[in-house]
Amino acid sequence: MTSQSVDAERIKRSLLVLFLIAVSVYLSWFGLSKNLPWMGLLIPALGVVTALISRPAALFILILFIRSGNFMVPGLPGTLTLARLMLLMMIGWAMVESALRQEKAKNSYVPGMDFWMGVFLLDIFLIMAVRGAGFRMLGGSSYGGATYVGLIAAILFYYSVVRIRLSDQHVKLVLMGIVIASILPMAVEILVYHFPGQSWWLTSYFDVAPEYALGQKGMEGGVERWGTFSNFAFALIPIIYVLCRNAKLRFILIVLAVLLVGMTGFRNRVLKVGTLIFFASMYYSKNRMKTFMGWVLVGVAGLVVLVIAAPYLPPAMQRAVSFLPFLEIDFDVARTATGSATWRFDMWKEYCIPNVPKYFFVGRGLSRDITSFAWLSSSWYGTYEFYYHMGRYHSGPFSLLLDYGLLGTVSFTVFFIMVVVDGWKTVKQYAMHLDSFAARYYVFLTLLMTYNLVAFYLIFGDVDSQLLDLLLIAAQMRILKKNFLDVDRVDGESLVS
């Protein structure tokens, strides 16, 4: 190694340490300003990141682990989760790396993706400028400032992953890490439900939404839904189709995933698990007709079992299958399930559609003055008026049109359509010809992104809460595609025979 390269490495590490110190000082100051001096305990934790940050693949895997575990930073706004703060670390690494190499950041192999996501980022800044309150990032009476920070960090993170490489070993670590991390919030939610007095403090460190189960406990007509169970169910699916080769174990894991997602009580999550399992099984099958007929028989048998067992299922599971009209389920469960659908149509009709022209060119944005909610009495909490004013439209198209306007809607939509189209092209040209964990994982990610895009517009969509997860999938697809192209270049010939 030459002296120049050694000096460059030392400079790089020094700049990274300075960057981490700056973040640590900021977090500590925030903790002190909010009477949370223990925030200074984050400094040793950031020291761990200092060691990892020179290995961007390890840092990337750590971000996926933290995101899957729903880790939070006590004292910071809920939208600034630990995963979003880690994104800033990755962005810092990429900026320093690019500066030291004196190179421009490499574009993706479909430059239009970078362009349209850049347009979406510019639209966010435009909204912040026009709506004003968006520039009050933290503190004050503005709600949504931290959400802007999280969105901007997620987008810049997507651009920062261009030099990361993920090997087969990295893919194994990703999948196993996500499974392990997803168990933690599930365990926390169970503890908080059964021992709220002793374990409530855990909700400051994990975003477990305990109100799903705890908030309905003892409430007349309430349905206890275990929301975090779906994290583990979703984490099992890539394990089933990427790592697991044993047919019996696959079947056991599929049944476990279905049961866990049923306990959430969310119909859209049940649909997601079922759709991913079906299409992944079809894609990876050597005899697709046999696999299809097998799933038809499983579906018929499952319906027969549901018809018989539906009245005896836990309320959450009854709610999850309430979209099947011929099942006999509890009256209160059926009423709450139906009500959760009808109020959305009322909100769209009374508030969303009439306000689309108002925010057509410049979106409504994310900053809301908290004082504007003062008129809402406790009886209004959870009504469609409340959710509209909070910007929770339960609709992907309205989430885009109302909060981001025409420019945001077009750029967001075009970007993710390009991701899906390029994903299937890459599967056809590269991944389907390889029998590696990375190739199999790329196929799964393409299936997942395809479902997420369709579901965002047709079933449930919310840009604020979903953008990071969508970009994490797109970033992994981007990294793995670069791997395929690098191997192709080294071999000197196409991987396609």
The letter for the amino acid at 14 is: S
Q: Mean pLDDT, to the nearest integer, of 410-432?
A: 92
Asked if the model's pLDDT at residue 237 lies above 70, the reply is yes
Per-residue pLDDT of 9-41, as tens digits, reads 566 556 665 565 556 555 555 544 454 545 545
- pLDDT (0 to 100) of residue 79: 62
Task: Give the number of other Cβ atoms within 10 Å of residue 316's Cβ.
Answer: 22
- pLDDT (0 to 100) of residue 213: 59
- pLDDT (0 to 100) of residue 310: 82
- pLDDT (0 to 100) of residue 95: 65
- For residues 199 and 186, what is the distance between their CA atoms, to the nearest angstrom? 13
Asked if the model's pLDDT at residue 221 lies above 80, the reply is no
- pLDDT (0 to 100) of residue 32: 45
Per-residue pLDDT of 188-199, as tens digits, reads 888 888 888 778
Cα angle, residue 44 at apex, residues 38 and 45 outer, rounded to 5°: 90
**Range of weakest confidence among 320-334, 368-382, 421-435:** 368-382
- pLDDT (0 to 100) of residue 44: 46
* pLDDT band at residue 139 under the 50/70/90 scheme: very low
Side-chain half-sphere CA neighbours of 299 within 13 A: 11
- For residues 461 and 86, what is the distance between their CA atoms, to the nearest angstrom? 25
- For residues 85 and 77, what is the distance between their CA atoms, to the nearest angstrom? 12
* pLDDT band at residue 427 under the 50/70/90 scheme: very high
Per-residue pLDDT of 50-66, as tens digits, reads 555 567 788 788 888 88
Greater confidence (332 vs 80) lies with 332
**Range of weakest confidence among 28-42, 280-294, 306-320:** 28-42
**Range of weakest confidence among 264-268, 298-302, 386-390:** 386-390
- For residues 91 and 96, what is the distance between their CA atoms, to the nearest angstrom? 9
Greater confidence (364 vs 487) lies with 364
Cα-based distances in Å from 260 to 57, 66, 239, 270: 31, 21, 15, 9
Specify the 3-state DSSP secondary structure of 383: coil
Side-chain half-sphere CA neighbours of 434 within 13 A: 25
- pLDDT (0 to 100) of residue 240: 93
**Range of weakest confidence among 17-21, 146-150, 270-274, 462-466:** 17-21
With pLDDT > 70 as the criterion, what percentage of the chain qualifies? 71
Q: Mean pLDDT, to the nearest integer, of 156-166?
A: 83
- pLDDT (0 to 100) of residue 444: 94
Output the average pLDDT for the chain: 78
- For residues 446 and 426, what is the distance between their CA atoms, to the nearest angstrom? 9
Asked if the model's pLDDT at residue 418 lies above 60, the reply is yes
DSSP per position, 38-99: GGGGHHHHHHHHHHHTTSHHHHHHHHHHHHHTTB--TTS-TTS-HHHHHHHHHHHHHHHHHH
Q: Mean pLDDT, to the nearest integer, of 38-46?
A: 51
Q: Which residues 6+ apart lie within 8 Å of 357 measured at CB?
A: none
- pLDDT (0 to 100) of residue 232: 93
**Range of weakest confidence among 141-150, 329-338, 473-482:** 141-150
Greater confidence (235 vs 464) lies with 235
- For residues 148 and 154, what is the distance between their CA atoms, to the nearest angstrom? 10
